[in-house]
């Protein structure tokens, strides 16, 4: 059974313990996806949904666009309009040099988080008798 199915069955679907409120991870996730190349917002949200960070669920599009706007204001991403003959114009986002440096800092930060989470997990397992 997948984690999401277990959370629903246990009544934890809307609880932070279900892992659906990982808002702090949206920025490094967006930066990591954009490091692979420019994408328009919808595709970016789809790619984020495919990552394990979001449990295979597409994140809230409004939240993704808010994050992109904030990151653009901070100079981490840049956007431009892409015009298509077969549909409406789409805003395409790409990583900036500052965004690349930020992603590199996130790697260090996430490694530190991982160490802390590993320690917390050990303590939680011990306390739960596992």
Residue 93 burial class via C-beta count within 10 angstroms: exposed 0-12, middle 13-18, buried 19 and up? buried
Give the domain extent around 81: 25-127
CATH number, domain at 59? 1.10.10.10
- Residue 105's pLDDT is 96
* Average pLDDT for 33-57: 86
Residue 125, pLDDT > 80, answer yes
**Residue 95 covered by a domain:** yes
Pick the closest to residue 77 from 87, 67, 62, 89 (CA basis).
Answer: 67
Domain count, the chain: 1
Asked which of 38-52, 67-81, 86-100 is least confident by mean pLDDT, the reply is: 38-52
**Residue 58 covered by a domain:** yes
**Residue 98 covered by a domain:** yes
- Residue 16's pLDDT is 57
- Which SS3 state, helix, strand or coil, does residue 86 take? coil
Which is higher by pLDDT, 24 or 97? 97
pLDDT tens by residue, 83-110: 888 888 899 999 999 999 999 999 999 9
């Amino acid at each position: 059974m997948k984690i999401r199915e277990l959370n629903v069955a246990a009544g934890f679907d809307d609880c932070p313990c279900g892992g659906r409120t990982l808002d702090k991870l949206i920025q490094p996730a967006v930066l990591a996806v954009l490091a692979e190349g420019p994408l328009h917002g919808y595709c970016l949200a789809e790619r984020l949904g495919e990552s394990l960070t979001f449990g295979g669920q597409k994140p809230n599009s409004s939240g993704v666009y808010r994050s992109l706007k904030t990151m653009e204001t901070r100079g981490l991403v840049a956007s431009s309009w892409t015009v298509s003959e077969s549909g409406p114009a789409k805003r395409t986002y790409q990583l900036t040099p500052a965004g690349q440096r930020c992603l590199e800092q996130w790697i260090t930060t996430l490694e530190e988080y991982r160490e802390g989470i590993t320690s917390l997990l050990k303590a939680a397992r011990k306390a739960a008798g596992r």
